[in-house]
Structure 1
Amino acid sequence: MNIKIILNKDTDIYKQIYSHFKEEILTKRFKVDEKLPSIRQIANKLKINNITVLKAYSLLEADGYIYKVKGSGSFVKNINLNNTCTLQKPILENFKNGQIKINSNINFASATPNKEIFPTEIFQNIISNLFLEDGSDLFIYEDSQGNLDLRKNIANLLKKEIKNISHKEIQIINGAQQGLDLLKKGIIKNNSTIILGSPTYSSAITTFSNFCKIKTVPVQADGFDMETLEDILKSKKIDYVYVMTNFQSPTGYKWSDDKKIKLLNLAEEYSFYIIEDDCLSELYYHDIPTSSIKSMDFMDKVFYINTFSKVIMPGLRLGYLIPPKKFISSIINSKFISDISSCSLSQRSLNVFLENHYEEHLLKIRSFYKQKYELVKSLIFKSKFLKLDYLPEGGFYFWVSVLNDLNCDLLYMKFKERGVNVLPGNVFFYKKTSSNKIRISFAAVSEDEIILGFRIIEETIHEIIHGGENIYTPLI
C-alpha cells in the first residue's frame, strides 16, 4: 500500500485525507469500483485514530465519491452521473425547466455567484430590525412598479452615470431574466425581428427565438461588427437589437464608447430599440468603472436591464428595468399581470443594504473575484492547449480556444467524465455550429478547485491528443 499524504498542522487531518482521495479519484488514479485502503490501514500508516479516517471516508461517501459494501470495504463510485449527452446537444440533458443542473464536482459552467461572499449576516441583522420596525407590513403587496424608497435609492446610485434619471422611470423586477420576460409579454410583438450578437448570452437566444425572427451579427472585442450590422439594417426592417455591453457572456468583451454612440445613432436612423443587459457592469477589476449605452441615451431608445443577483445574492431575485419613457405604463402593466409585485421583504431589506453597505460590499467582491480572475488568467497563459484570444477586464468569463481544433462537444463530455464542467462554445450561437471554444466561469469555484480543474483539463486534452482518439473539429 502506497499512501502519500503529507499532513500539515493548519488543516484538520480528516479534511486532508478527504482532499487527497478526492483528487486521486477525480484524476482517475483510482478507477471506478476499485477498493480503497481500509480505515485501519490508513490509520496505522499515518499513526492516527481510526475515527479520523472514518470521518474522512464518511465525507467522501456523502459527497458521492465512494460507496461502502458491508463486510468488504469502500470502493470508488462512478461520478460520471449522466452519460446521456449527445454530440448535437451536449448540455441539454443538464437543463430542467430552463435551469442548468450540474452534477460535476468542479463547476466552471455556472455563473452563480460564490456563496462565500454573500453578505448573509448583514441581511440577517437588517431583516431582524425590519421585523421590529415594520412587522406584518413586510408581507403586504408592494406597488407593482416597486417599493418607492428602493426605486429612489437606485435612482440616486445611477445618477453618477445616468443624468436626470428619476425613480418614476424605474421598474423593479425579479432578476434580469424577468426583464426579458416582461419585454416579451408587454412590448415585443410576435414575429418582430431582433438582432443578437454571435456569440451571445444563451438565455437570450432561448427567450427571443421562441417568438421573434432572429438575425445575428459577429461580436468583436469592442462590440458588434458595425459594417455587418449596417448591411442588415439597410436590407431589412429591424425592431430590436439585444446587447450585453460590459463583460459579455460568453466572451467577456466590452463595447467601446465609439460603438455605443454609433449604435444609438443607428437606432435613431433606422427606428429600432436597443435592449441593453448590463448585469456584470459592477465587476470591473482595473479601477476603471464601466459605462452603459443608457448613460448616452439622449434619444430614449434603450431598454436598460440590470440585476443585483451577480453582485449581492441571486436568491434576492431583484433587479430593475428602465424602459424608454413611452413604455413605462406598459411595463408596469406587464409586471402586474406577471406576478403583481416583487417580494416586499426582499425589496425593503435590499433598500437598507444599498443605503448602508453597498459601496463597501462592491469593493469586497471585486477584490474577492479579482483573485480568482488572476489565477484563471495565469493558468490559461501557462496552458499548452488553451488559448485566450481576448483578456477581459471584468466579469466572470474567459472565452477560450482549444488548440489542435479539438471539438468542444466531445471535450465537454470528456471533462464531465472526470468531474469538471465547462460550457461548450456552440450553445452561445443561434445556429449551433461546430466550435473549438469553451467558456470557463470562475464565479462558483474555489481557488483549490480552479487549480485542480485546470490540471484535469490539461491531462484530459493531453491524453486525447497523444492517445490517438479522433475528436477533431471537421475543417469543412
Structure 2
Amino acid sequence: MFDFKVEKKTGDKLYIQVFDGIKKMIQEGKFERDHKLLTIRAASLALSVNSSTIVKAYDMLEKEGYLYKIVGSGCYVTSEKLPEKFHFEEEGDQGINYSQLDLGKVINFASATPSSELFPLKDFKDAINFVLERDGGEVFSYQDPKGYGPLREEISRYLNKKEIKTDNIQIVSGSQQAIDIIGKMLLKPGDKIIVEGPTYAGAVSSFKKAGAHIITIPLEKDGMDMKKLKSTLEKERDVKFIYTMMNYHNPTGICWSQIKKEKLLKIASKDNIFIVEDDCMSEIYYGENNPLSLKSIDEKEKVIYIKSFSKIFMPGLRLAFMALPKELIETAVSVKYMADISSSGLNQRAFHHYMKEGCIYSHLDSIRKIFAQRYIYMKEEIQKIPQLKIVYEAEGGLFFWLKIPEWMDSEKFYNLALKKGVSFLPGRVFYQKNDLSPYLRISFAGVDENEIKIGMRYFREAFEEYLGKRKARLPLV
C-alpha cells in the first residue's frame, strides 16, 4: 500500500514523514482519484507508528486538499492537484478583518454582536449556581455528544412555539460548528451547493474548505430569484444543498415571502436537495408577528435548521442547535463527536434551567424593545444623507443594507470612515467573487443611541469628504 518507510531516528516528526510520503505517492499518480486509503489502525500497523501519528497526517492531507473524508467510511484521495475552484483558504470569514478585531475607540457599526450590557448576567448567574449545587462535578464531565437530554427536550418545546415539531435535535458549539458539521456530513471536493448572493461569508468559507463548488443565485426583495434558481438546477445536476437565511437575512435584512418558501420546498422535494436554513435573527422582529421558518412547513424532511443563540442571548456561550431530518441525525452525532466530543456541560445545563424557568422569553421581549429603538434612531440618521439608499426596508434584524453611488468604492470609503472613527462592513465581504461593491452593511447591535448619533456624524463626514474628492476631480466646464 505505502512505498515508503518512517525513519524514527532522523529527528523528523513522524506524522510529517507520513504526510510527505503519502503526498508524494498522490502527486506521482500512484493512487487514483477516490482511492480509499488504509484505515487509521491498518496504516499505523503498516508503518509501525501510533494511530495518533496517522490521524495527524491524514488531517494535514485533508487540509491541503489531497484527501476527503466520509464519516463511517474512511479517507479517500482527491487528485494530484485540486483545481483552482477548490482552493482551501486559511483565513475563514474575512469579515473578521472589519468587525471582530479590537478597534479601540472606533465606533463599531461592523459587528452584529449585541453589546454586553444587554446580557442577562444575574439570571444566568443564578442558573449556573443552581446547576452547580444540583449536579456537582457532573457538569464538568463529558456530555452526550447529541446534547444534554433535558435541554434538547426544552428546545423541542421552544420550537413548538415556532410551529416546528421535531425531536431530532443536535446541540452544537455555535452556528459556525453546525455549518462545519454539515459540510463534513454532506460534501466532498467538487460537490455543488447553492447560496444566495449576497450571503454570510463565514458559511461560504467553511463550504470552500470542504471543497464545494459554490453557485450563487441573486437575492430579490422577497427571496432568491426563483427563475434563475430553476434554470440553474436544470443545467447543474447533483446539487447537494441550498444554503439560505429566510428571516432577516444577513446582510440584506429581507424575509422570504411565503410563496417563495413553498416553491423552494417543492423544488427541494422534486430534485431531492437538502435546504440548510440558518436562523439567527427571527426572534428580533419589530412588528406584531414573528415570521415563521421554512422548517415549520417542512413536511418532506428536506430542511436542516440551524438556530444560534449568539444574537439573541450571549455569543460567548457558544451554544446553538440543529433540527435535522431523521436520516441525518446519527451521522451528525458522529461528526460532532469527532469535532469536540460534546459541548460544554455547564453551559448546556445552565441554559436548560434558564429556558425552563421562562427567562429566555422575558429576555427576548426586553432586547426587542431596545433594538427597535436603535433601529428607528439609526434609520433617521441614515435618511439625513440623501445619496445613501436603504436597499430593503427590513422589519427586524440588527443591520441596514445600504447602497452608495455606483462610482464609489465601499472599500476605500471604509478606510476613510475608519480614520474618522467609525467602522462598517464593505459589501464585497458578502459576495463570493469578492469584487468591489457599491453596497455596505451597518449594524446597531453593539451601540447605544448616543454612539449611533456620534458614529453617524463620523460616517456623514467621511461620506461628504469622499464626495468632495470626487467633485475636485471633475473637469471644469
Interval of TM-score (by shorter of Structure 1 and Structure 2): 0.7 to 0.9
- Deviation of 1:122 after TM superposition, in Å, equals 0.9
CA distance in 2, matches of 1:419, 1:273: 43
CA distance in 2, matches of 1:219, 1:93: 21
- Code of the residue aligned with 2:233 in structure 1: it is L
Q: Is the 8 A contact 1:174 1:317 kept in 2?
A: yes
Q: Is the 8 A contact 1:247 1:395 kept in 2?
A: yes
Which residue does 1:60 correspond to in 2?
none
- Deviation of 1:256 after TM superposition, in Å, equals 0.7
Which residue does 2:31 correspond to in 1?
none
Which residue does 2:273 correspond to in 1?
272
Q: Which string of whole-angstrom CA distances, capped at 9 and with x for unpartnered residues, describes residues 12-43 of structure 1?
A: xxxxxxxxxxxxxxxxxxxxxxxxxxxxxxxx
CA distance in 1, matches of 2:445, 2:94: 22
Q: Is the 8 A contact 2:194 2:241 kept in 1?
A: yes
CA distance in 2, matches of 1:257, 1:175: 28
What SS is found at the alignment partner of 1:405?
A: coil
- Deviation of 1:185 after TM superposition, in Å, equals 1.9
Q: Which string of whole-angstrom CA distances, capped at 9 and with x for unpartnered residues, describes residues 55-113 of structure 1?
A: xxxxxxxxxxxxxxxxxxxxxxxxxxxxxxxxxxxx998847x9831425100000111
CA distance in 2, matches of 1:457, 1:434: 19
The yes-or-no answer on 1:446 pairing with 2:448 is: yes
Which residue does 2:432 correspond to in 1?
430
Which residue does 1:304 correspond to in 2?
305
Which residue does 1:141 correspond to in 2?
142
Q: Is the 8 A contact 1:407 1:471 kept in 2?
A: no
Which residue does 2:38 correspond to in 1?
none
Q: Relative to 1, partners in 2 of residues 1:214 and 1:395: Cα closer, same or farther, differing over 3 Å?
A: same
- Deviation of 1:188 after TM superposition, in Å, equals 2.2
Q: Which string of whole-angstrom CA distances, capped at 9 and with x for unpartnered residues, describes residues 147-170 of structure 1?
A: 00000000011112345422xx00
Q: Which runs of 5+ in 2 are unaligned?
A: 1-91
CA distance in 2, matches of 1:103, 1:414: 15
- Code of the residue aligned with 1:392 in structure 2: it is A
Which residue does 1:213 correspond to in 2?
213
CA distance in 1, matches of 2:324, 2:459: 43
The yes-or-no answer on 1:370 pairing with 2:353 is: no
What SS is found at the alignment partner of 1:304?
A: strand
Which residue does 2:18 correspond to in 1?
none
- Deviation of 1:467 after TM superposition, in Å, equals 3.7
- Code of the residue aligned with 1:221 in structure 2: it is K
CA distance in 2, matches of 1:296, 1:471: 55
Matches within 5 A, 1:99-110: 100-103=100-103, 105-110=106-111
What SS is found at the alignment partner of 2:161?
A: coil
The yes-or-no answer on 1:294 pairing with 2:295 is: yes
CA distance in 2, matches of 1:160, 1:125: 25
Relative to the length of structure 1, the TM-score reads 0.77
- Deviation of 1:380 after TM superposition, in Å, equals 1.3
Q: Is the 8 A contact 1:94 1:101 kept in 2?
A: no
Q: Which string of whole-angstrom CA distances, capped at 9 and with x for unpartnered residues, describes residues 410-436 of structure 1?
A: 001101111211100011011122211
Q: Which runs of 5+ in 1 are unaligned?
A: 1-90
Q: Is the 8 A contact 1:170 1:322 kept in 2?
A: yes
Superposed CA RMSD: 2.0
CA distance in 2, matches of 1:272, 1:463: 49
- Deviation of 1:469 after TM superposition, in Å, equals 7.0
Which residue does 1:18 correspond to in 2?
none
Q: Relative to 1, partners in 2 of residues 1:404 and 1:185: Cα closer, same or farther, differing over 3 Å?
A: closer
Which residue does 2:407 correspond to in 1?
405
CA distance in 2, matches of 1:348, 1:228: 45
Which residue does 2:457 correspond to in 1?
455
Q: Relative to 1, partners in 2 of residues 1:148 and 1:455: Cα closer, same or farther, differing over 3 Å?
A: same
Which residue does 1:204 correspond to in 2?
203
CA distance in 1, matches of 2:181, 2:424: 30
What SS is found at the alignment partner of 1:253?
A: coil
CA distance in 2, matches of 1:197, 1:380: 26
- Deviation of 1:263 after TM superposition, in Å, equals 0.4
- Deviation of 1:219 after TM superposition, in Å, equals 0.4
Q: Is the 8 A contact 1:410 1:471 kept in 2?
A: no
Which residue does 1:319 correspond to in 2?
320
Which residue does 1:465 correspond to in 2?
467
- Between stretches 378-387 and 325-334, larger displacement belongs to 378-387
Relative to the length of structure 2, the TM-score reads 0.76
Q: Is the 8 A contact 2:99 2:424 kept in 1?
A: no
Q: Is the 8 A contact 1:423 1:440 kept in 2?
A: yes
What SS is found at the alignment partner of 1:394?
A: coil
Which residue does 1:229 correspond to in 2?
229
- Code of the residue aligned with 2:189 in structure 1: it is N
What SS is found at the alignment partner of 1:413?
A: helix
CA distance in 1, matches of 2:352, 2:365: 18
- Deviation of 1:471 after TM superposition, in Å, equals 9.5
- Deviation of 1:337 after TM superposition, in Å, equals 0.5
Q: Is the 8 A contact 2:113 2:446 kept in 1?
A: yes
What SS is found at the alignment partner of 2:194?
A: strand
- Code of the residue aligned with 1:332 in structure 2: it is V
